Structure 1
Amino acid sequence: MKSKLYTEDHEAFREMVREFIAREVTPHQERWEQERLMDRQLWTAAGKQGLLGIAVPAEFGGGGESDFRYRAVVMEELADVGAASVSLSLSLQDDIALPYLLDLATGEQKRRWLPGVCSGEIVTAIAMTEPGAGSDLQGIRATAVKDGDDYLVSGAKTFITNGIHSDLVIVLARTDPAAGAKGMSLFVIERGMPGFTRGRKLNKVGLHAQDTAELFFDEVRVPAANLLGTPGRGFVHLMERLPRERMAIAVVAQAAAEAALRWTLAYCAERTAFGKPIADLQSTRFTLAELATETEVTRAYLDRVIGDFNDGTLSAVDAAKAKWWATELQNRVVNRCVQLHGGYGYMLEYPIARAFVDARIQTIYGGTTEIMKEIIGRDLTSNG
């Protein structure tokens, strides 16, 4: 089912994105997967093509376009070629880190950082998760101690997307340990600051080409000019921006599910068993019917969610619904598509096999399925 979400302008943009992917992504995917790292040059190529900083005002070098549908187009086209690692890295920049800079940065900070983010000369990351604090961010232990006009940031972060390539890392740290969630602040730590080091490039089950790392901060002297947002409101700043992050993950999941179904339909039409295409087997047709129905119904909901986001009315609860449902759908669809591929579905030369291992993390990061259901359940049963 073709989505009614897009206009002619979006489809023209899609053609440009396809050309970029064919030129800058597809020829390198296998090597990136084997090397466990994408080329740094991909960022500057994406920036030159206008695929980074789409929502950044033109005065800072961006596209000046807040319509999320353009980002959704990029996600769909990357999913179509099985480039989940690239999609995650670009999404981290534009959908997760960038909103913090757009919403919270001062004029001086925007002039200092945004042009590089848009050109791809600056790769961003956001460091929340710690070895002992994942979904429960109130358990973080990283600290930022005031020292004159500066802060000394110490602690360890893990599972950090873009952790190896990142030039600018938004770090959540405790500025007042006695104040609980009200005692956290956000700091921008830049490559080369003394005391900021990177640990292992983590060896993940999937998303092999995407760099995920441990980060360490040993009394990193961070000037007050790198404090992001309001002191003591770091946790609130995070909560305010999670709906967009979760919506983005849901859109990636939907795009991946649709791509998996397209690949499988083509495979079932070509592959024969018992003297005829396996698409002619009733069990296959029933499975395909179920997957098509589930993906199309989910697409309708996500189209609405994207519209709500563009209108400024997307709620945290609706974003949570989209996130858990679409990511669980992605895993369910991909798993069943692997089954329809038979033994070939387990071979990495087929995109469905890579999609299988890449999909598993989707129900975990950005808030687990269980956390999403807790958000929704609390809303349903609250007395307010």
Structure 2
Amino acid sequence: MNFVLTQEQTDIRKMVREFAEKSVAPTAAERDEKEYFPREIFAAMGELGILGIPYPEEYGGVGSDFVSYAIAVEEISRVCASTGIGLSVHTSLCSWPIFHYGAEEQKQKYLRPLASGNKLGAFGLTEPNAGTDASAGSATAVKDGGSYILNGTKVFNTNGGEAEIEVIFAATDKAAGLKGLSAFIVEKGTPGFTFGKKEIKMGIRSSVQRELIFENCRVPAANLLGKEGEGFKIAMTTLDGGRIGIAAQAVGIAQSALEHAIKYAKERIQFGKPITGNQAISFMLADMATKVDAARLLTYRAAYNKSNHLPYSKEAAMAKLFASDAAVAVTADAVQVFGGYGYSREYPVERLMRDAKITQIYEGTNQAMRMVIAGSILR
């Protein structure tokens, strides 16, 4: 068992960290305040290959692995969790199902521009009445000659309105329940595909989540991903991998909070000495560091398993569960270390605390993660 990163993984961390600190960090607070989605940053990430790290070069990717991808999400999220989630959704939730389930023609047409960064991707499963319970969805896709007619609404769609390519789930056979769910590749600009309200959020404010509206939207039958009725399987296996990205995002948020807390504690003088000399503070920092390291190891294990075609559903759920809880706890402790200043927008830890909470909710709530883990260990 080797806990040392490969040279390629180390080089990718160095490259992404340099990019993040130079091109993402300087505007993170302002973008959060203005709720501005930075398409120019995603274009720059595309040019560096960051949007296609785990995909083969033949499809426009870098040809690396999912550990390197997790590292990239972690490093971007360390300076801006909003940008980190956009990267994660693009790579895990849109590109991966096309790579894994798509026909060769679909990979050439859609995966190549996604992996090369020329286009941005998104994933539409959640509906107003269908969150954790995907079977409650009402979106439909009716076969009509060489097309499917899509009708319905999706909500909380990350990258929605910005992404050129969406993977959308709709029922082709309502009577069959989850076995009647199918997946489709839908391009922005398709007639009948429009956007509704943009969510106003507590955190990840520089990320965009929009409502998607399908009104008699005609999608070519060639854009059916996999086979009819395979949508639920495609969605669940895609989300298994997506949780690695969320875990990595949470690790990046927590790492940032830890670094800020350590720096502040060393500089803050009370009772004539740095507050690190107070055992209450130093022990708090020790616990924070332990949680971050444990979360990172769980995340990298899940990513390693995925890269090496080992089971990773339970491992990804564990990583997402633990890392998100760690991020919420560590960011709250960071605010506490800062005291009153931690509650001020003048310092970054309040933004980290706001950003951390969503990691316990999206791509499967932590209660759902416990269901996944329990289902695996109790078989």
> Normalised by the shorter chain, which TM-score bucket?
over 0.9
* Distance in 2, Cα, partners of 1:331 & 1:242: 21
Q: Which residue of 2 aligns with 1:279?
A: 276
1:122-133, aligned counterparts within 5 Å?
122-133=119-130
Equivalent-residue separation in structure 2 for 1:281 and 1:328 (angstroms): 26
Q: Shift of the alpha carbon at 1:156?
A: 0.5
Q: Which residue of 1 aligns with 2:68?
A: 70
Could you tell me whether the CA contact under 8 Å between 2:73 and 2:87 is conserved in 1? no
The alignment partner of 1:52 has SS state of helix
For residues 193 and 376 of structure 1, what CA distance do their matches in structure 2 show? 39
Q: Where does structure 1 lack aligned partners over 5 or more consecutive residues?
A: none
Q: Which amino acid aligns with 2:34?
A: E
Task: Determine the C-alpha separation between the residues in 2 that align with 1:301 and 1:34.
Answer: 32
Give the distance between the partners of 1:297 and 1:192, measured in 2 at CA.
44
Correspondence list, 1:133-172, <5 A: 133-172=130-169
Tell me, in whole angstroms, the C-alpha distance in 2 between the residues paired with 1:243 and 1:6.
23
Q: Secondary structure at the match of 2:162?
A: coil
Q: CA deviation at 1:294?
A: 2.6
Contact 1:257 1:333 in 2 (8 A): yes
Shift of 1:130: 0.3
The equivalent of 2:6 in structure 1 is 7
Q: How does 1:53-68 map to 2 (within 5 A)?
A: 53-65=52-64, 67-68=65-66
Percent of aligned positions that are identical: 38
1:358 aligns with 2:355: yes
1:128 Cα offset (Å): 0.3
**Cα pair distance change 1:302/1:43, threshold 3 Å:** closer
Whether contact under 8 Å (1:89, 1:162) holds in the other structure is: yes
- SS of the aligned residue for 1:4 comes to coil
Among candidates 246, 256, 260, match of residue 259 of structure 1? 256
Output the CA distance in 1 between the equivalents of 2:298 and 2:31.
34
Aligned to 1:236: 233
Are 1:20 and 1:49, in contact at CA under 8 Å, matched by a contact in 2? no
Match of 2:321 in 1: 324
Query: When the two structures are aligned, how many residues end up with a matched partner?
Result: 378
TM-score by length of 1: 0.94
**Mapped partners of 1:15, 1:299: distance in 2:** 17
Contact 2:96 2:238 in 1 (8 A): yes
> What one-letter code is carried by the residue in structure 2 that aligns with 1:61?
G
Structure 2 residue 335 is the aligned partner of structure 1 residue 347: no
Cα deviation digits, residues 7-59 of structure 1 (max 9, x gap)? 22222222222332244322332332233122322222111111111222222
In the alignment, is residue 93 of structure 1 matched against residue 74 of structure 2?
Answer: no
Q: Take 2:132 and 2:318, find their aligned partners in 1: how far apart are those partners?
A: 17
Q: Per-residue CA shift, 1:36-88, capped at 9, x if unaligned?
A: 122322222111111111222222222122x112212212322332x100111
Moved more, 319-328 or 115-124: 115-124
Name the Cα RMSD after superposition: 1.7
Partner of 1:36: 35
Q: In 2, Cα distance between the equivalents of 1:207 and 1:273?
A: 33
Check conservation: 1:5, 1:303, Cα contact below 8 A.
no
CA deviation string 1:239-258 (max 9, x = no partner): 22222111221122122212
Relative to structure 1, the CA distance from residue 380 to residue 11 in structure 2 (aligned partners, 3 Å threshold; closer, same or farther) is closer
Segments of structure 2 that go 5 or more residues without pairing to the other structure are: none
The aligned amino acid for 1:58 is E
SS of corresponding position for 1:314: coil
Tell me whether 29-38 or 271-280 shows the greater mean CA deviation.
29-38
1:43–1:121 Cα contact (<8 Å) kept: no
